[in-house]
Amino acid sequence: MSAVTAPERTFRRRVADLIKRRETSVVVAIVLVVALATSVNSSFAFGRDGWRNLLLTPSLLVVLAVAQAVVIISKNIDLSVSAVLGLTAYATGEMFTAWPSLPIPVVVVVAIAFGSGLGAVNGLLVSRARVPSLVITLGTLYIFRGLGIAWVGSAHIKPSDVPDSFERIGIASVLGVPVLTMVAIVVVIVAAFVLGSTRPGRELYAIGSNEEAADLYGLRVQRRVFFSFVASGTLAGLAGVMYAARYVMVDSQAGSGLELQSVAGAVVGGVAITGGSGTVIGAALGAVLLTTISRALPIVGVPDFWQQALVGALIIAAIVLDRVLANRHARRLVQEREPNVEPAEVAR
């Protein structure tokens, strides 16, 4: 048996690894899209509004994609994030209307806590009932959305309901970077740190790779899964507050359809739908790419209702690519182990 030699971690090697990473391809794609759109209409990136929107519009989806990534990495899925977003966005507006003297930070915290509570419901059902999260969150998506509609009815939050200072958060910038974008960046950094460098985070990867092995190893699978859903609910709640700040007009349909886009963003950014791999940075970049593409489409002359078809095509392309790369990688590992044997069809 030939010994497997560790590849030298030369600088060249590290650069090569970096280039091969999915995140790098996504960054390149983003740059290409922006360049293309800007070449057609320079105000896309360089106009005052253009620059602001370039950074600001993706921030919502970035937070949602991070929420989704946390859950997908542990081999689950959370389809209810858009309903949680809608509910917390409306709750934010309602709190301002009902208690105008409440300080903004209090409203924000309560709204986010609301999101955590909803996430906890999901987490409880998935971790205790041993039912696939697909089914549970499909149900809670409609339950939360329906409850939201029952609560909101035909009412909606208007700009006059919300304090001006809160409204300003939605479009204010500090040193050229919109406030909401900075929030999103902080979320990404914290999530990346927790998932990449803390034990609970790394355990999520383990659970996503092989839940039975993780269980046998002694990891507290139920607890981790529960908290992963609480996390996604919390982040969806934060996204709801951001939605209220940015769009201000919140009705019963707020956020519809975003659950699919959050999954798409995560998947395109390299988070494998089969769990166990991918990074939140990748998910964030995927979300940025998707939003930028849909904003660039009208500029380039493509009617923007092609955006949804594009999202679907990108999801499929991403998971096929993941599959092909995983197969190739597994085959290569087998060959390294036994260089004289024909690698058989890799087990699925």
Partner 1 sequence: MNSLRRRAAAVTGMSMLLAVGLAACSSGEPEGSESPGPGDSGDEAVSYDITFLPKNLGNPYFDASDNAGKAAVESFGGTYKEVGPTEAAPDAQVTFINTLSQQGVGAIVLSANDPAALCDALAQAKEAGVHVLTFDSDVNPECREMYVAASNTELIGQKQIDIIAEEIGGSGQIAILSASANATNQNAWIEVMKEYLASDYPDIELVEVVYGDDDDQTSYDKTEALLSQYPDLKGIIAPTTVGIAAAARYLSTSEFKGQVMLTGLGTPNDMRDFVKDGTVLEFALWNPKDLGILAAWAAKALIDGDITGAEGETFTAEGLSSEVTEFTIGADGIVVLGDPFVFTADNIDDFDF
Partner 2 sequence: MSSTLIDERTAPTAPATGTRWRRLLFGRDAAIIALLAVVWLVALFAVPHFNSPSTLYYLLEDIFPVLLIALPMTMVVITGEIDLSVGSMVGLGSVVVGALVQGGMPFGTAAAVALAVGAVGGALNGYLVTKVGLPSLAVTIGTLALFRGLAVSILGNRSVTGFPQEWKDLAQSRMFGSGTALPSIIWLFVILAVVFVTLLHFTPTGRATYAIGMNDEAARFSGINSDRLKLGLFAATGAISALAGIWFVLYYNTARGDNATGLELSVVAAVLVGGVSIFGGKGGLPGVIAGVLLIGALRSALRLADVSSDAINVATGVLLVVTVIVPSLVLWLGRVRKALILGVRVRSGAPGAPHREEEL
Contact residues for partner 2, defined by CB under 8 A: 75-77, 125, 128-136, 138-143, 145-147, 149-150, 211-212, 215-216, 221-222, 252, 260, 263-264, 267, 273-275, 303, 305-313, 315-316, 319-320, 323, 327, 348
Binding status of residue 43 toward partner 1 by CB under 8 A: yes
Subset of 286-315 contacting partner 1 (CB under 8 A): 295, 298-299, 304
Q: Is 339 exposed, middle or buried (0-12, 13-18, 19+ CB in 10 A)?
A: exposed
Q: Looking at beta carbons only, is 132 or 196 nearer to partner 2? A: 132
Pick one of partner 2, partner 1, none as the site partner of residue 249 (Cβ within 5 to 8 A by kind).
partner 1
299 binds, among partner 2, partner 1, none (CB under 5 to 8 A by kind): partner 1
122 part of the interface to partner 1, by CB under 8 A: no
Piece in contact with partner 1 (CB under 8 A), picked from 23-31, 48-56, 66-74, 232-240 = 48-56
Instruction: Find tokens 């339950």 and name the residue.
Output: 143
Residue nearer to partner 2 on the CB measure, 151 or 193: 151
Decide whether 248 or 283 has the Cβ nearer to partner 1. Answer: 248
Torsion of CA 208, 209, 215, 219, to 10 degrees: -70
Contact region with partner 1 (CB under 8 A), list: 15-23, 44-52, 232-240, 279-287? 44-52
The verdict on 248 binding partner 1 (CB under 8 A) reads: yes
Does the protein bind partner 1 through residue 82 (CB under 8 A)?
A: no
d(CA 154, CA 162): 18
Least Å from the CB of residue 46 to partner 1: 11
Task: Kindly state the DSSP code that residue 159 receives in the 8-state scheme.
Answer: G
Q: Which of 17, 18, 20, 49 binds partner 1 (CB under 8 A)?
A: 49
| Rounded Cα–Cα distance for residues 58 and 286 (Å) | 10
Q: Which stretch binds partner 1 (CB under 8 A): 12-20, 120-128, 215-223, 242-250?
A: 242-250
Site string for partner 1, 249-278 (x = CB under 8 A): x-xxxx------------------------
- Record the tokens describing residue 195, joined without a space: 């998932």
| Residue among 217, 216, 268, 256 nearest 81 (CA) | 256
> Whose structure tokens read 């987490």?
123
| Binding-site partner at residue 142 among partner 1, partner 2, none, CB < 5 to 8 Å by type | partner 2
**Residue 257 Ramachandran class (φ > 0 left, ψ -120 to 50 alpha, else beta):** left
Residue 27 contact among partner 2, partner 1, none, beta carbon within 5 to 8 Å by kind:
none
Exposed, middle or buried: residue 9 (CB in 10 Å: 0-12, 13-18, 19+)?
exposed
Which partner in partner 1, partner 2, none is near 76 (CB below 5 to 8 A by kind)? partner 2
Judged by CB under 8 A, the residue of 50, 208, 270, 282 near partner 1 is: 50
Q: Is 144 helix (H, G, I), strand (E, B) or coil?
A: helix
Stretch of residues binding partner 1 (CB under 8 A), selected from 66-74, 182-190, 247-255, 311-319: 247-255
Binding footprint of partner 1 on the chain (CB under 8 A): 41, 43-44, 47-50, 53, 149, 152-156, 158-160, 171, 247-249, 251-254, 295, 298-299, 304
